[in-house]
Amino acid sequence: MDVSWIPGDADAVVVAICAVLAVGGASFGIARRSGGKAQDVSKSGGPAETANTSILGSVDDEEAAASGRKAPAPSDVASSAPTTTLFESPESTSGRFGRLRGRLGATLGNVFRKSAISADDYDELEEALLLADVGAMSTDVILESVKSRLAANADLAPHEALRAALLEVIDPDADRSLALGEPGEGEAKSVIVVGVNGVGKTTTVGKLARVLVADGYSVVLGAADTFRAAAADQLETWGARVGVPVERSERDGADPASVAFAAAERAKGDGADAVLIDTAGRLQNKAGLMDELGKIVRVVGKVSPKAEVLLVLDATTGQNGLTQARVFAEATEVTGIVLTKLDGSAKGGIVVAVQRELGVPVKFVGLGEGADDLAPFDPVAFVDSLVGEA
């Protein structure tokens, strides 16, 4: 640049101009690498399902292009540390269900609020139970239980008989905890999350990680849904919010079992308490994909003691969820149920139906879209919400 025309302190002016340009260039470089803005992960809602851009490897590729050197080839399975320092403190799991139970609504609240019950009242109760997706067989069991209780005790209020009958079929004494032991044992037990497309598996894994972090567990996430492009990115966002690392593939369609195995090894090497494995949404008529699920369970079991296989069901699908449950139960040993979208449906009776069908307890329920709206299932509070008890 010819600066001979600049009067006075030309050298100082040139230096100042160069400094401004340098700062601007650095700022542009930072904005370019971060997508032009900082990611806000402090909102209560979960990451968008449609996110499909990965930031892993982008910095190395860009730096290589700028310097003329060849970028290193990404490995098939890559470790991901948390991508942000804006960590959140998840809400305590104690009392979550009580805070959220009001969203369920009392679907059976006024049916039996009478001192004397007629045949029409029993018909009304039967209809209400069926509409709540309790299922025909469970409805018959509940009706017979209510009738026998009222016949045996003339002083028993009808709604109290209904409450007792519902509690009996839901089984409040069932063990609904995750078999992870105590935090700090460092055995890295595995929790594999399965289910069909659209039920909210990846979101459930992210929210479950928050539950475990809130309870003092150290966690590693495994993004073994390698067929949906946004799944790994979404899981990374969930992990970043609470400082949980994620194992993922850098190649779409990579072997899910390899990713799951790498996640289990990472958890074991880190001395973590649990490894949560997200799996691809499998249609129940795809035998090959169901076989793949069995492979994931077997491979992870070579490294990490199996704690749980959790089946995620959408509460709004009603009896169709039972069909899904049967197929998954045939593919692998399901140890617990997670019911999502229970807040968007008056059909909470699916809890009764699915437990009766599988003999497996509901362990968690999703009662909202907030990051901490996954709650350990409380059978007593649930029944009270159905019959309208305070």
Out of 92-106, 122-136, 212-226, pick the least confident: 92-106
Q: How does DSSP assign 4-59, residue by residue?
A: TT--SSHHHHHHHHHHHHHHHHHHHHHHHHTTTS-----SSBPPPTT-----TTHH
Average pLDDT over residues 75-100: 60
User: Is the pLDDT score of 228 beyond 70?
Assistant: yes
Say if 17 falls within a structural domain: no
User: What pLDDT was estimated at residue 113?
Assistant: 75
Out of 162-166, 205-209, 344-348, 366-370, pick the least confident: 344-348
User: In this structure, what DSSP letter does residue 145 have?
Assistant: H
Say if 137 falls within a structural domain: yes
Which of the four pLDDT bands, split at 50, 70 and 90, describes residue 286? low
Helices (H) and strands (E) in the chain, counts: 13, 9
Model pLDDT for residues 90-125, shown as the tens digit of each residue = 777 776 666 555 555 555 666 777 777 889 989 989
The residue type found at 21 is: L
Strand order in the sheet with 362-366: 77-80, 246-249, 219-224, 274-279, 189-194, 306-314, 336-340, 362-366, 374-376
**Domains identified in the chain, total number:** 1
Share of the chain above pLDDT 70, in %: 70
Enter the tokens of residue 47: 């990451």
Say if 384 falls within a structural domain: yes
Out of 51-55, 205-209, 299-303, 327-331, pick the least confident: 51-55
User: Is the pLDDT score of 46 beyond 50?
Assistant: no
CA–CA gap between residue 36 and residue 48 (Å, rounded): 18
CATH of the domain at 323: 3.40.50.300
Q: How far is CA 132 from CA 129, 147, 361, 365, in A?
A: 5, 20, 18, 16
Q: Which residues are bridge partners to 339 per DSSP?
A: 313, 365
> 104 with 277: CB under 8 angstroms?
no
User: What pLDDT was estimated at residue 314?
Assistant: 87
Say if 20 falls within a structural domain: no
Say if 8 falls within a structural domain: no
pTM: 0.74
Greater model confidence, 300 or 286: 300
User: What pLDDT was estimated at residue 33?
Assistant: 30
User: What pLDDT was estimated at residue 389?
Assistant: 67
Q: Count the neighbouring beta carbons within 10 Å of the beta carbon of residue 49.
A: 14
Say if 62 falls within a structural domain: no
CA–CA gap between residue 260 and residue 374 (Å, rounded): 24
Q: Which residues are bridge partners to 192 per DSSP?
A: 277, 309
Say if 41 falls within a structural domain: no
Nearest partner of 193 among 183, 178, 181, 182, judged by Cα: 178
Domain enclosing residue 317, as ranges: 81-390
User: What pLDDT was estimated at residue 116?
Assistant: 78
CA–CA gap between residue 341 and residue 321 (Å, rounded): 13
Report for 37-46, 259-268, 342-351: range of highest mean pLDDT: 259-268
Burial class (CB in 10 A: 0-12, 13-18, 19+), 15: exposed
Say if 57 falls within a structural domain: no
User: Is the pLDDT score of 259 beyond 90?
Assistant: yes
Nearest partner of 237 among 369, 46, 90, judged by Cα: 46
